[in-house]
Amino acid sequence: MSDNTQAIKNLLFRMADDDLIIGHRNSEWTGLGPILEEDIAFSSMAQDKLGHAQALYNILHSLGEADADTLAFTRNEKNFYCCHFVEYPIRDYDFSLMRHFLFDTADAIRFDMLTNSSCQPLANLAKKVRGEIKYHTMHANIWISQLGKATDESNIRMQAALNECYPLALGIFEKSDYESVLIDSGVFDGEELLQKVWTDIVSEIIEKSNLKMPDINEANLSTLAFGGRKGYHTEFLQPLLDEMTEVYSIDPAAEW
Partner 1 sequence: MKSDSTIKSLDPRITRADIPKDENLSINITPLDQWQTYEVFHQAKKGDHHIHVGSLHAPNPEMAFLSAKEQYARRGKCVNIWVVKTADIFTTDFEDEDMYETNNEKMYREAGGYKVMERINKYKKEHKKNPEEAKQ
Select the residue interacting with partner 1 from 38, 164, 179, 189 (CB under 8 A). 38
212 phi and psi angles, rounded to 5 deg: -120, 140
Length in residues, the chain = 256
Query: Min. distance of Cβ 192 from partner 1 in angstroms?
Result: 32
Site for partner 1 in 189-228 (CB under 8 A): none
Q: Go through 133-159 and write b for each residue having 16 or more CB atoms within 10 A of its CB, e for each that does not.
A: beebbebbbebbbebbeeeeeebebbb
CA distance 119 to 141: 30
Site for partner 1 in 8-37 (CB under 8 A): 28, 32, 35-37
Each residue 229-248 as x (binds partner 1 by CB under 8 A) or -, in order, gives --------------x-----
Q: Does 69 bind partner 1 (CB under 8 A)?
A: no
Identify each DSSP E strand in 186-251 by its residue range.
none
Q: How far is CA 141 from CA 103, 104, 128, in A?
A: 12, 10, 22
CB 166 within 8 A of CB 133: no
Q: Of 73 and 135, which has the nearer Cβ to partner 1?
A: 135
Q: Does 63 bind partner 1 (CB under 8 A)?
A: no
Select the residue interacting with partner 1 from 6, 67, 130, 138 (CB under 8 A). 138
Q: Of 36 and 254, which has the nearer Cβ to partner 1?
A: 36
Nearest C-alpha neighbor of 140 from the set 165, 115, 113, 167:
165
CA distance 131 to 1: 32
Query: Min. distance of Cβ 12 from partner 1 in angstroms?
Result: 27
Q: Does 156 bind partner 1 (CB under 8 A)?
A: no
Query: Min. distance of Cβ 28 from partner 1 in angstroms?
Result: 5
CA distance 60 to 58: 5
Q: Of 90 and 123, which has the nearer Cβ to partner 1?
A: 90
Residue 77: CA atoms inside 13 Å, Cβ hemisphere, count? 16
CB 53 within 8 A of CB 20: yes
Q: Of 35 and 253, which has the nearer Cβ to partner 1?
A: 35
Residue 117: CA atoms inside 13 Å, Cβ hemisphere, count? 24
Select the residue interacting with partner 1 from 40, 213, 216, 247 (CB under 8 A). 40
Query: Min. distance of Cβ 38 from partner 1 in angstroms?
Result: 7
Residue 51 amino acid letter: G
Select the residue interacting with partner 1 from 79, 128, 142, 213 (CB under 8 A). 142
Give the interface segment with partner 1, choosing from 41-49, 109-117, 181-189, 193-201 (CB under 8 A): 41-49
Q: Does 135 bind partner 1 (CB under 8 A)?
A: yes
DSSP string computed for 58-75: HHHHHTTPPPHHHHHHH-
Contacts with partner 1, residue ranges (CB under 8 A)? 28, 32, 35-38, 40-41, 44-45, 135, 138-139, 142-143, 146, 243
